[in-house]
């Protein structure tokens, strides 16, 4: 049974902000996105900045309210319909770890205060004495020491602060942990340590993950399945171990080839070199996209791609791809 199931999720934002902003011009951030995450499964959402992956993650915990689609937790809980008390209980089971721990951890709090700041108002609050024991244990599980509870976040390195954020997310024993670019701001050696920590946690706790990243190689190392997003759409989904060898969508191939500077199958070296470099920032969709969202960057574009939106089709390698060539 899936821990969470997302069907045809969509979200648009008003293009202008402020009280006197005109209504009617929008940024189409998430467009008809569907996926599911099973128990003890890590699912990656990968793409360039601005592709909609973080917005999708925040829709799952209702930091933003979606415009359409469905979100079901454990097959029976309709997340979009939850009221305040029910939503609070849901958020105890689905925790969010942010990209920048320096901003998500209050510098005025001790580590202990930061860990229990949400816990003390939850339905699971065991009292101060027990909470301190649990906080010490979870901090040690995250690779720090119980003696660090009285220190402040500014006394730690970036990797250590991320461990504190992960510990805070784990304290209420969630069923799904959303990790939003949790290693992107860290040195490569520290990235490996945090990824291995998350793998250990997943194994010990049978925990499910939604892992947001812009680096396909990092996501392939950690995740069981990966969804590749572009301009708010899911372009391809496949098992992580197969994606590198059997990527079907031109955008996925472009992301991999950019890392190795090797042109992908079907495109000449000149075409690959002429394409705008990936892993940058995606052009925002300010109108509903007609045709393929990737058409304007694709070296393999055909006339059909400009006028007809491709459906997600089975690739024959255990995955799906939104491409007319599949």
Q: What is the pLDDT of residue 322?
A: 96
Taken in order 284, 96, 188, 261, is the CA torsion positive or negative?
negative
pLDDT higher for 85 or 24? 85
Q: What is the pLDDT of residue 141?
A: 96
| Mean pLDDT (whole number) for 43-59 | 95
Q: Is the pLDDT of residue 280 over 90?
A: no
Query: For residues 117 and 109, is the Cβ–Cβ distance under 8 A?
Result: yes
Query: For residues 161 and 105, is the Cβ–Cβ distance under 8 A?
Result: yes
Q: Is the pLDDT of residue 56 over 60?
A: yes
Residue 202 CB neighbours (<10 A): 18
* Domain-ending residue, one of 140, 174, 208: 174
Q: What is the pLDDT of residue 281?
A: 74
Q: Is the pLDDT of residue 264 over 80?
A: no
| Mean pLDDT (whole number) for 130-135 | 97
Q: Is the pLDDT of residue 271 over 60?
A: no
Whole-number average pLDDT of the chain: 89
Q: Is the pLDDT of residue 245 over 70?
A: yes
Q: What is the pLDDT of residue 268?
A: 41
Residue 54, domain member (yes or no): no
Residue 109, domain member (yes or no): yes
Q: What is the pLDDT of residue 135?
A: 97
pTM: 0.90
* Domain-ending residue, one of 153, 174, 195: 174
Residue 311, domain member (yes or no): yes
Residue 18, domain member (yes or no): no
* Radius of gyration, alpha carbons of the chain: 21
Residue 14, domain member (yes or no): no
Q: Which residues pair with 234 in a beta bridge?
A: 229
| Mean pLDDT (whole number) for 51-74 | 97
Q: Is the pLDDT of residue 276 over 80?
A: no
Full domain range(s) for residue 141: 101-174
3-state secondary structure of 6: strand
3-state secondary structure of 146: helix
Residue 169, domain member (yes or no): yes
**Domain co-membership, 170 together with 241:** no
| Mean pLDDT (whole number) for 102-114 | 92
Q: What is the pLDDT of residue 265?
A: 45
Q: Is the pLDDT of residue 50 over 70?
A: yes
Nearest to residue 211, comparing CAs of 34, 202, 66, 8? 202
pLDDT higher for 297 or 273? 297
Query: For residues 115 and 170, is the Cβ–Cβ distance under 8 A?
Result: no
| Mean pLDDT (whole number) for 134-145 | 96
Q: Is the pLDDT of residue 92 over 60?
A: yes
- Tokens read off for 287: 């109108």
Q: Is the pLDDT of residue 193 over 70?
A: yes
> How many domains is the chain partitioned into structurally?
2
pLDDT band for position 155 (cuts 50, 70, 90): very high
**Domain co-membership, 245 together with 316:** yes
| Mean pLDDT (whole number) for 16-45 | 85
Q: Is the pLDDT of residue 39 over 90?
A: yes
| Mean pLDDT (whole number) for 42-62 | 95
Q: What is the pLDDT of residue 102?
A: 80
Cα 257 to chain centroid distance, Å, stands at 22
| Mean pLDDT (whole number) for 199-206 | 94
Q: Is the pLDDT of residue 186 over 70?
A: yes
Q: What is the pLDDT of residue 29?
A: 95
pLDDT band for position 19 (cuts 50, 70, 90): low
* Domain-ending residue, one of 174, 195, 218: 174
- Tokens read off for 319: 């995955």
Residue 304, domain member (yes or no): yes
Distances (CA, A) of 96 to 12, 27, 137: 22, 24, 20
Nearest to residue 167, comparing CAs of 237, 233, 104, 82? 104
């Amino acid at each position: 049974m899936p821990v969470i199931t997302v069907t045809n999720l969509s979200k648009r934002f008003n293009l202008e902000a402020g009280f006197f902003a005109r209504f009617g011009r929008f940024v189409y951030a998430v467009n008809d996105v569907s996926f599911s995450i099973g128990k003890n499964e890590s699912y990656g959402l990968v793409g360039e900045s601005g592709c909609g992956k973080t917005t999708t993650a925040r829709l799952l915990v209702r930091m933003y309210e979606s415009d359409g689609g469905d979100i079901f937790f454990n097959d029976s809980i309709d997340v979009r319909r939850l009221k305040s008390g029910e939503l609070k209980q849901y958020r105890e089971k689905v925790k969010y770890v942010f990209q920048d721990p320096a901003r998500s951890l209050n510098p005025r709090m001790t580590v202990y205060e930061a860990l229990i700041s949400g816990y003390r108002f939850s339905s699971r609050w065991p009292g101060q004495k027990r909470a301190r024991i649990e906080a010490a244990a979870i901090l040690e599980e995250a690779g720090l020491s119980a003696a660090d509870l009285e220190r402040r976040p500014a006394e730690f390195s970036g990797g250590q602060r991320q461990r504190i954020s992960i510990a805070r997310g784990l304290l209420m024993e969630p069923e799904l942990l959303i990790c939003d670019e949790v290693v992107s701001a860290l040195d490569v050696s520290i990235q490996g340590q945090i990824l291995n920590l998350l793998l250990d946690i997943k194994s010990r706790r049978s925990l499910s993950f939604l892992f947001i990243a812009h680096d396909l190689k990092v996501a392939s190392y950690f995740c069981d399945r990966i969804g590749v997003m572009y301009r708010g759409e899911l372009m391809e989904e496949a098992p992580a171990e197969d994606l590198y060898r059997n990527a079907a969508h031109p955008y996925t191939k472009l992301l991999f080839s950019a890392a190795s500077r090797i042109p992908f199958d079907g495109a000449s070296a000149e075409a690959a070199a002429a394409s705008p470099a990936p892993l940058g920032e995606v052009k925002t969709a300010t109108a509903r996209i007609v045709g393929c969202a990737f058409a304007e960057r694709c070296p393999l574009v055909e006339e059909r791609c400009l006028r007809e939106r491709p459906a997600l089709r089975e690739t024959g390698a255990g995955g799906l791809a939104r491409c007319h060539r599949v």
